Amino acid sequence: MNRWKTTLTPYLFLLPALSLLGLTVFWPALQAFYLSFTRYGYRLGDAPEWVGLANFQTLLQDQTFWKTLGNTLIYLAGVVPLLVILPLGLAILVNQKLRGIHWFRLAYYTPVVISMVVAGIAWKWLYAENGLLNQWGQLLLGSGAIASKILPIPWLTSPNFALYSVMAVTVWKGLGYYMVIYLAGLQGIPGDLYEAAALDGSDGWLKHWDITIPLMRPYLVLVGVISAIAATKVFEEVYVMTSGGPLNSSKTVVYYIYERAINDLEISYGCAMGLVLFLVIFIFSIVRLTLTRSEDLNAP
């Protein structure tokens, strides 16, 4: 009896959280999985009609979906490398034992606690035709012929710039968050290793190449996978700043799901796209677990 009590006690503590997750996450996910194989949402109140793989066949022929998937992959390729490399450099800088360094850490982390809606509105103003960025460009280039050809830059109104302008906001907002992850790893590296490396001639930035990066490899993998998953699910930036325009140039998969499922009431079709996105994120998670496990096995 005591053995069963000891075994069941942890699960009893987990039961409230599991019940909440079941009601708010697992059950809606199962419903969405079922609805992806039905036709539902055109007229609310009608029962879901089983259509099998019809939604996925439509998805294969949906040019807008493939456009948004391409935008999401571009987003992924542009944002993830920057969010892996730049925060590590910031973490190395703020890990120095300097007077007032805590204020620099706070300054870099401040964008993380700002609401994405507030940040998006602020950056939308910065990107405006008469916004601060174009005004700075006017001050730097003056009013000559070159300036008249370049300025104002259509940051959010041109298909050539819109997606990359939104990507810049994502990088700016995520720097502090990933910097903290790296900072935790850096503070776990013994200082004796750097002293020994200095005796062998590895000093300055070279010591980070020889010591910091190899020891921070698990954190690099973690940040890479987390930022990749976040990039595939990007929504708020697009919703606030561009609404997917112009000409679908900044529309991502998640925004397209919102557009079809909520605006057009094609709930079953949105669930089908959501299932595809889930599989992509699931693959990223498997990759992360595989790489993390291999790091643990190769660790001395």
Half-sphere exposure of 180 (CA within 13 A, CB side): 14
Tell me: cis bond preceding 152? Omega within 30 of 0 counts. yes
Burial of 256: CB neighbours in 10 Å, binned 0-12, 13-18, 19+: buried
Q: What is the mean pLDDT of residues 278-291?
A: 80
User: What pTM does this model have?
Assistant: 0.85
In a domain, 43, yes or no: no
Q: What is the mean pLDDT of residues 149-155?
A: 82
Q: Which tokens is 107 given?
A: 């300054």
Tell me which H or E stretch contains 50: strand 49-50
What is the count of structural domains for the chain? Answer: 1
Structure confidence at residue 163 (pLDDT): 94
Least confident of 140-154, 155-169, 173-187, 242-256: 140-154
In a domain, 285, yes or no: yes
In a domain, 39, yes or no: no
Structure confidence at residue 296 (pLDDT): 58
What's the rounded Cα separation, in Å, for the pair 105 and 96? 11
What digits encode the pLDDT tens for the residues 98-151? 787 888 888 888 999 999 999 999 999 999 888 888 888 888 877 666 766 777
Residue for token pair 């699910």: 233
Tell me which H or E stretch contains 184: helix 162-186
Nearest to 238 by CA among 74, 12, 28, 19: 74
Cβ atoms of 171 and 79 within 8 Å: the answer is: yes
What's the rounded Cα separation, in Å, for the pair 247 and 158? 9
What's the rounded Cα separation, in Å, for the pair 154 and 266? 33
CATH code at position 191: 1.10.3720.10
In a domain, 42, yes or no: no
Structure confidence at residue 43 (pLDDT): 66
Structure confidence at residue 240 (pLDDT): 93
Cβ atoms of 179 and 87 within 8 Å: the answer is: yes
In a domain, 159, yes or no: yes
Q: Which domain holds residue 261?
A: 48-298
What digits encode the pLDDT tens for the residues 42-95? 666 678 888 889 999 999 999 999 999 999 999 999 999 999 999 999 998 888
Average pLDDT score, the chain = 85
In a domain, 29, yes or no: no
In a domain, 27, yes or no: no
Contacts of 259 (CB under 8 A, 6+ apart): 244, 251
Structure confidence at residue 14 (pLDDT): 85
What is the number of other CB atoms lying within 10 angstroms of the CB of residue 231? 23
Burial of 216: CB neighbours in 10 Å, binned 0-12, 13-18, 19+: buried
In a domain, 23, yes or no: no
- Give the whole-number percent of the chain exceeding pLDDT 70: 90
Cβ atoms of 179 and 109 within 8 Å: the answer is: yes
